[in-house]
Amino acid sequence: MSDLPTFDDVAAAAQRLAGHAHRTPVLRSATANARHQAEFFFKCENLQRMGAFKFRGAFNALSKFTPAQRERGVIAFSSGNHAQAIALAARLLGMPAVILMPLDAPQAKIDATRGYGAEVIGFDRYKEDREALTRRVADERGMTLVPPFDHADVIAGQGTAAKELIEEVGALDLLFVPLGGGGLLSGSALSARALAPHCKVYGVEPEAGNDAQQSFRKGEIVHIPVPTTLADGAQTQHVGQLTFGVIRRNVDDVLTASDEQLVQAMRFFAERMKMVVEPTGCLGLAGALHGGLDITGKRVGVIISGGNVDLARYAQLVA
Ligand SMILES: *Cc1c(COP(=O)(O)O)cnc(C)c1O
């Protein structure tokens, strides 16, 4: 496929993001290193604007809108981090944003999205066809749809986190990346291939929804029912056409992590590194520790993808 994004697109995205996205810190942990006899580098996208890497892809995509597109604005559907990312990026770029959210989405998420200035339209996810509704609103208002992962500009934006990580710490032996629809993983793989060609890149998805692992092994996109997992940012039913095109060419394997392993990683981040990480954000570390790979003596990159989690729920999980 000639329309797949490349590392040049990631580099261009990095320029657009400069001064707008945080250059998030890379943290180390002597405890993790000693326990696992490896050298860990944690890229902390839980400390990114709006609390997750998704700001990168959203801002990059919206920055490329034409003046006519900017005037009409952006539309997206999401009940998660993509909603807040699009809302914030739209506000910063001075364009209207409409986010379609299921009526039963957590009120805190609806409030956060409205807080960034977006108009939230609720829909009944059991009765209404979300895609048809999105298309109708998009047509009526002339808005441009930006999907959460299967979009070249979104992928390129997400790839800037791994680019920063490798530029800051040098070549890695292994890189572990949380995986839902594959935007973060495909962008990260483009950066790793270009900047650290010997680095092995692994996607890590919830055990309960291993569609990407099945797709990777089979060589074609596999669809699954909505998986039940704590990792609500990775409850996707299938990867995208573009993300899969990049993943199958540039990723070494797809691993899975159980909910119990995610909770263990959440506790580790809280107790040892003083960080709030959402369950989905723990997939990378869980995959590094439990994915069956030998990390002894290796330089291990881990992307912590986000930190947005309801506090009551968080307290329950880490207690
Ligand atoms: C969206 C999201 C993911 C998954 O990203 P994809 O690009 O869909 O693979 C992982 N972690 C967090 C915190 C997310 O919000």
Q: Which DSSP string corresponds to 263-282?
A: HHHHHHHHHHH-----GGGG
Per-residue pLDDT band at 106 (split at 50, 70, 90): confident
Predicted local confidence at residue 4, as pLDDT: 96
Q: Please give the distance, rounded to the nearest whole angstrom, from the Cα atom of residue 66 to the centre of ligand 1.
A: 27
Residue nearest to atom 13 of ligand 1 (CA): 306
Predicted local confidence at residue 252, as pLDDT: 98
Mean pLDDT of 226-253: 95
Predicted local confidence at residue 79, as pLDDT: 79
CB of 244 shorter than 6 A to ligand 1: no
Q: Within 10 Å of residue 131's Cβ, how many Cβ atoms? A: 11
Predicted local confidence at residue 109, as pLDDT: 83
Kindly list the domain boundaries of the chain, sorted by start residue: 7-53+151-318, 55-145
Q: Is the pLDDT of residue 91 over 70?
A: yes
Q: Please give the distance, rounded to the nearest whole angstrom, from the Cα atom of residue 299 to the centre of ligand 1.
A: 23
Using the Cα atoms of residue 91, residue 65, residue 280 and residue 191 in order, give the sign of their dihedral.
Answer: negative
What DSSP designation does 247 have? H
Which ligand 1 atom is at minimum distance from the Cα of 81? 15
pTM, two decimals, is 0.97
DSSP letters for 112-137:
HHHHTTPEEEEE-TTTS-HHHHHHHH
In a 13 Å sphere around the CA of 271, the CA atoms on its Cβ side amount to 11
Provide the token pair at 24.
Answer: 């998030």
Predicted local confidence at residue 18, as pLDDT: 98
288 or 126, higher pLDDT: 288
Please measure the distance between the N-terminal and C-terminal CA atoms of the chain and give it in whole angstroms.
48
Which ligand 1 atom is at minimum distance from the Cα of 80? 15
Which ligand 1 atom is at minimum distance from the Cα of 203? 9
User: Which architecture characterizes domain 55-145 according to CATH?
Assistant: 3-Layer(aba) Sandwich (3.40)
CB of 153 shorter than 6 A to ligand 1: no
Q: Please name the residue that has the structure tokens 């200035």.
A: 117
Number of H helices, E strands in the chain: 14, 10
CA distance 81 to 62: 16
Q: Would you please indicate which residues are annotated as catalytic (active-site) residues?
A: 54, 79
CB of 221 shorter than 6 A to ligand 1: no
> How do residues 291-313 score in pLDDT, each as one tens digit?
999 999 999 999 999 999 999 99
Predicted local confidence at residue 103, as pLDDT: 86
CB of 181 shorter than 6 A to ligand 1: yes
What is the pairing mode between strands 26-27 and 39-44? Answer: antiparallel
Residue nearest to atom 14 of ligand 1 (CA): 233
Per-residue pLDDT band at 12 (split at 50, 70, 90): very high
Q: Is the pLDDT of residue 260 over 80?
A: yes
CB of 179 shorter than 6 A to ligand 1: yes
Mean pLDDT of 57-82: 96
Q: Please give the distance, rounded to the nearest whole angstrom, from the Cα atom of residue 162 to the centre of ligand 1.
A: 14
CB of 279 shorter than 6 A to ligand 1: no
Predicted local confidence at residue 2, as pLDDT: 57
> Which residue among 215, 305, 310 is best mutated to probe the pocket of ligand 1, counting the most ligand atoms within 8 A of its Cβ?
305
CB of 178 shorter than 6 A to ligand 1: yes
CB of 73 shorter than 6 A to ligand 1: no
Going by C-alpha positions, the residue among 154, 161, 155 that lies closest to residue 23 is 161
Mean pLDDT of 144-148: 96
CA distance 140 to 134: 10
Assign 6 to helix, strand or coil.
Answer: coil
Mean pLDDT of 197-215: 97
Mean pLDDT of 37-50: 98
Predicted local confidence at residue 104, as pLDDT: 83
Cβ–Cβ under 8 Å, residues 149 and 142: no
Contacts of 194 (CB under 8 A, 6+ apart): 7, 10
Q: Please give the distance, rounded to the nearest whole angstrom, from the Cα atom of residue 114 to the centre of ligand 1.
A: 21
CA distance 136 to 181: 24
Per-residue pLDDT band at 218 (split at 50, 70, 90): very high
> How do residues 190-202 score in pLDDT, each as one tens digit?
999 999 999 999 9
Q: Is the pLDDT of residue 76 over 70?
A: yes
Q: Please give the distance, rounded to the nearest whole angstrom, from the Cα atom of residue 239 to the centre of ligand 1.
A: 11
Predicted local confidence at residue 154, as pLDDT: 98
pLDDT, mean over the chain: 96
CA distance 306 to 80: 11
Per-residue pLDDT band at 126 (split at 50, 70, 90): confident
Class (C level, CATH) for 7-53+151-318 = alpha beta
Mean pLDDT of 176-187: 98
Mean pLDDT of 262-274: 98
Q: Please give the distance, rounded to the nearest whole angstrom, from the Cα atom of residue 208 to the centre of ligand 1.
A: 16
- Per-residue b or e along 82-91, where b marks 16 or more CB atoms closer than 10 Å to that residue's CB: bbbbbbbbbe
Which ligand 1 atom is at minimum distance from the Cα of 184? 7
Going by C-alpha positions, the residue among 262, 251, 250 that lies closest to residue 287 is 262
Same fold flag, 7-53+151-318 and 55-145: yes
Per-residue pLDDT band at 221 (split at 50, 70, 90): very high
For helices 259-273 and 283-290, angle between their N-to-C axes, nearest 10 degrees: 110
Q: Is the pLDDT of residue 243 over 90?
A: yes
Assign 69 to helix, strand or coil.
Answer: helix
Predicted local confidence at residue 182, as pLDDT: 98
Mean pLDDT of 228-245: 94
